[in-house]
Amino acid sequence: MNETTQRRAEIFDEADAAQMRRVTELRTSGAMILDTLADQQHSLLTLNEESDADDVAESSRWIHYPWRRTLVHLLGPGGFCRLRLDRNRNKITNEEQLILSRLRVGIVGLSVGSAIAHALALEGVVGYMRLADFDDLDLSNLNRLSATVFDLGVNKATLAQQRIAELDPYLPVDAWTEGVDEATIDDFLEGLDLVIEECDSFDVKVLVRDRARQRGIPVIMETSDRGLLDVERFDLEPARPLFHGLVGHLDAATVSGLSVREKIPFGLRILEGREISVRMAASILEVGATLATWPQLGGDVLLGGASVVAAIRRFGLGEALPSGRVRIDIGEHLDQLSDPRIPQDSITSGTGGGSCPIDLRAQYDSLSDTQAVAFAATRAPSGGNAQPWIIHTDDTALTLRIDTTRSSSVDIEYRGSFVALGAALHNARVAAAHRHILGDTVITGDGPVTSARITFTVGTDISLTHQLPGMLDRRTHRGMPDTDPNRCDLTDVAHLAASLSSTTAGVHLIQDRDTIARLAENISATDRIRFLTNALHREMISELRWPHSHDLTRGIEVSSLGTPTAELAALELLRRPDVMEQLNNWDAGQALRAETRTRLNSSDAVAVITQQGTSSAEYIRSGALAEEFWIRVQSLGYSVHPLTPVSLYATNADHLRTLAPTRAHDLAALADELTKLTALHTGEHATLIVRIFRTAIPAPTSRRQAARETYS
């Protein structure tokens, strides 16, 4: 090995007395001192992850850089690596960083190769580098190498080694200052996992590939023209021809006897003359005339470093990286510049106020009696504003049944749809009482064929009639309160809850802050599972409607979410399944809980509508109770926001496994805890959970589809 050793960094362990004597000698000999260890230790302890105790307790090191005549005090290897690479996460996870740190990479040619070596060290994606270049730094190299005039005359491999040592003194780097040739290439390749070839000599290009192929070592090259990245996977294809066969079956012996002129056609075929940039192609024709050699730009070299490192990350992590080549042409991409401004009707144009005001009372008053009753039914709430009902009216009755095509995964056995049907039934009864045509109400059947029927006859109910204004004005408010929960008197709500409760269904009002906090943790945890489970996430996002959507009569308008305008852009990330899949792979996504946790904890109270039994009729009756409670609470001056935890309508383990196959165990634990927090009596089931709060900011009015009459 032809390595320069006198210009390597020296590492001294502070826990070793003998080594510290050498540090003392260097101090007394006039070495400059840079000691920021206390700051480094503080930063290590404040990382957003729990630092390993061994890293914190690890002895520090003194690093001597002889070419700078400087001693630097640093954290030990473990703490240094953890702190220096902390900002890699989660582009590179800790586990991936560990895998990549075992890679052993060689680089031949340290002009373009210098940028690659530095980028590899920056990202910490290799555990060892071997660098080969016989050339010394010339002033003409300073248009593309990260060096200075103080480095003129220093070997390029040594310069790269020193630059890396100043970045990470713990990364082993060997500098081969005489380059490689026929006699040394095998020693250079020994023990490497991958080699990067960036040299000017055509003979060496062939030699490196020829011997790498014999050893099953992949070769990567970047040409600094139109961002050409070239990969030859000799580890996977031991018989693959060099340079992808662009120059036939070439080997080191074939080119050794060729003259410079005879090699030119081979080089042009490798570069694919038709693909070379116009300026590079024209410049090649000027070499030897007006140019001494072909041009290279610093920006292109830096781009090459980035693309090669990205390829090596894939290789090291076992991701897809086949043999072949690709051009990452910045010029072509700049030709595709486009205006990114989002249309005025996009999500960021919303102010949180929702759609334009709708005069529901005027619409209601303009309708005939039977039409008014059907219209009132359509104003009922439903999960995701799916409106899962079919409404039929004639002169004698209004009949409601569920539309099974509008069900979702969390709507287990259509229970959520039946709750919505119950709310629609209550609204219809309110309108029928107001129009003095309220007759008997009958629920028949079970399961999907269940129907609810209101007979039209002369009749009314004063308590229902009084609810008409509140029913038409009932809204979902997903915003935040403007009062202190600890000062809000909820006596009126508590009385209302008690008056509506019976032995078969009721309203459980929760005001205890600790219980609300536990509910916030529980429900936000199920929200995280909803985001991270592909099918559930897809359904949830499909419920959202942006202002430019063609149909705003179903689903939830994003402007009604109560999300500040500045934060609405985050929805573009939350709606992406690939982002959720990545978070799921990391078992991350705790931030997905934040909004639900904050909103629940800020509530004045949480109300749980409960029931005994799980028949369709019981869910319908509980849905009607929930709607009446909602209308009357809002009439008292409160805002209401319903919450549907993923497991709300699950009653057995099979339901949970169907909802979230990979997280059924976690969901089961959350479901058990939710039952304990919401059920007052054995066998009681939660029908709906709502947060209650005061705010002066009005909620938007949701749009609805017209009543659908599909059978007689």
Q: Please write the tens of the pLDDT for every residue from 13-27.
A: 999 999 999 999 999
E strand or H helix that includes residue 641? strand 639-643
Which tens digit of pLDDT belongs to each residue from 380-392?
Answer: 999 988 999 999 9
Phi, psi of 377 (to 5 degrees): -60, -40
Say whether pLDDT at 672 is over 70.
Answer: yes
- Which DSSP string do the residues of 67-84 spell out, in sequence order? TTTEEEEE--HHHHHHHH
Residue 4 — very low, low, confident or very high, per pLDDT cuts 50/70/90? very low
Residue 708 — very low, low, confident or very high, per pLDDT cuts 50/70/90? low
| More confident of the two residues 402 and 484 | 402
Residue 577 — very low, low, confident or very high, per pLDDT cuts 50/70/90? very high
CA neighbor of 200 nearest in space, from 220, 223, 168, 183: 223
Average pLDDT over residues 622-627: 96
Average pLDDT over residues 340-352: 51
Q: Provide the pairing of β-strand 104-108 with 194-197.
A: parallel
Which tens digit of pLDDT belongs to each residue from 188-210?
Answer: 999 999 999 999 888 999 999 99
Average pLDDT over residues 447-462: 95
- Tell me, what's the pLDDT at 409? 93
- Tell me, what's the pLDDT at 53? 63
Helices 534-542 and 513-532, axial angle in degrees (round to 10): 100
Q: Which of 50-64, 145-159, 396-410 has the lowest mean pLDDT?
A: 50-64
Compute the 3-state secondary structure of the chain and give helix, strand, coil in percent, each to the nearest 5: 45, 15, 40
Average pLDDT over residues 421-442: 97
Count Cα atoms within 13 angstroms, Cβ side, for 296. 22
pTM: 0.76
Average pLDDT over residues 456-485: 90
Q: What are the strands, taking DSSP E only, across 491-564?
A: 505-510, 544-545, 556-557
Q: Which of 17-31, 262-276, 289-303, 668-682 has the lowest mean pLDDT?
A: 262-276
- Tell me, what's the pLDDT at 519? 96
User: What 3-state class would DSSP assign to 701?
Assistant: coil
Q: Which of 80-89, 167-176, 486-495, 654-663 has the lowest mean pLDDT?
A: 486-495
Q: Are 137 and 153 contacting, i.e. CB atoms less than 8 angstroms apart? A: yes
Instruction: Map 328-347 to HEC letters.
Output: CCHHHHHCCCCCCCCCCCCH
Q: Are 518 and 524 contacting, i.e. CB atoms less than 8 angstroms apart? A: no
Integer CA distances (angstroms), 12 to 16, 75, 498, 710, in order:
8, 11, 75, 84
Give every CB contact of residue 299 below 8 A, 6+ residues apart in sequence: 330
The rounded distance, in Å, linking the Cα atoms of 155 and 345 is 60
Q: Provide the pairing of β-strand 324-327 with 505-510.
A: unpaired
The rounded distance, in Å, linking the Cα atoms of 92 and 537 is 25
The tokens for 266 are: 């081979």
The rounded distance, in Å, linking the Cα atoms of 611 and 623 is 10
Q: Are 316 and 103 contacting, i.e. CB atoms less than 8 angstroms apart? A: yes
The rounded distance, in Å, linking the Cα atoms of 369 and 434 is 9
Phi, psi of 309 (to 5 degrees): -65, -40
Task: Give the N- to C-terminal CA distance of the chain in Å, as an integer.
Answer: 92
- Tell me, what's the pLDDT at 348? 46
User: What 3-state class would DSSP assign to 684?
Assistant: strand
Which tens digit of pLDDT belongs to each residue from 212-240?
Answer: 999 999 999 999 889 999 999 999 999 99
The rounded distance, in Å, linking the Cα atoms of 691 and 605 is 6
User: What 3-state class would DSSP assign to 356?
Assistant: coil
Which tens digit of pLDDT belongs to each residue from 682-697?
Answer: 888 999 999 999 998 8
Average pLDDT over residues 430-448: 96
The rounded distance, in Å, linking the Cα atoms of 262 and 403 is 78
- Tell me, what's the pLDDT at 619? 96
Q: What are the strands, taking DSSP E only, across 75-206?
A: 104-108, 128-132, 173-176, 194-197
Which tens digit of pLDDT belongs to each residue from 278-303?
Answer: 888 888 788 778 888 878 899 999 99
CA–chain centroid gap for 225, Å, is 33
- Tell me, what's the pLDDT at 341? 67
Average pLDDT over residues 594-602: 93
Which tens digit of pLDDT belongs to each residue from 161-191?
Answer: 999 999 999 999 999 999 999 999 999 999 9
User: At which residue do the structure tokens 């099953």 appear?
Assistant: 216
Within 10 angstroms of residue 54's Cβ, the number of other Cβ atoms is: 10
Annotate 400-421 with b (16+ C-beta within 10 A) or e (fewer): bbbbeebbbbbbbbbbbbbbbb
Average pLDDT over residues 68-90: 95
- Tell me, what's the pLDDT at 10? 96
The rounded distance, in Å, linking the Cα atoms of 133 and 146 is 16
Torsion angle (degrees, nearest 10) of CA 81, 83, 87, 89: 60
Residue at 613: amino acid letter: G
E strand or H helix that includes residue 539? helix 534-542
Q: Are 500 and 494 contacting, i.e. CB atoms less than 8 angstroms apart? A: no
User: At which residue do the structure tokens 């630059």 appear?
Assistant: 163
Q: Are 223 and 329 contacting, i.e. CB atoms less than 8 angstroms apart? A: no
Integer CA distances (angstroms), 381 to 292, 652, 701, in order:
77, 26, 11
Q: Chain-wide mean pLDDT for the chain?
A: 89
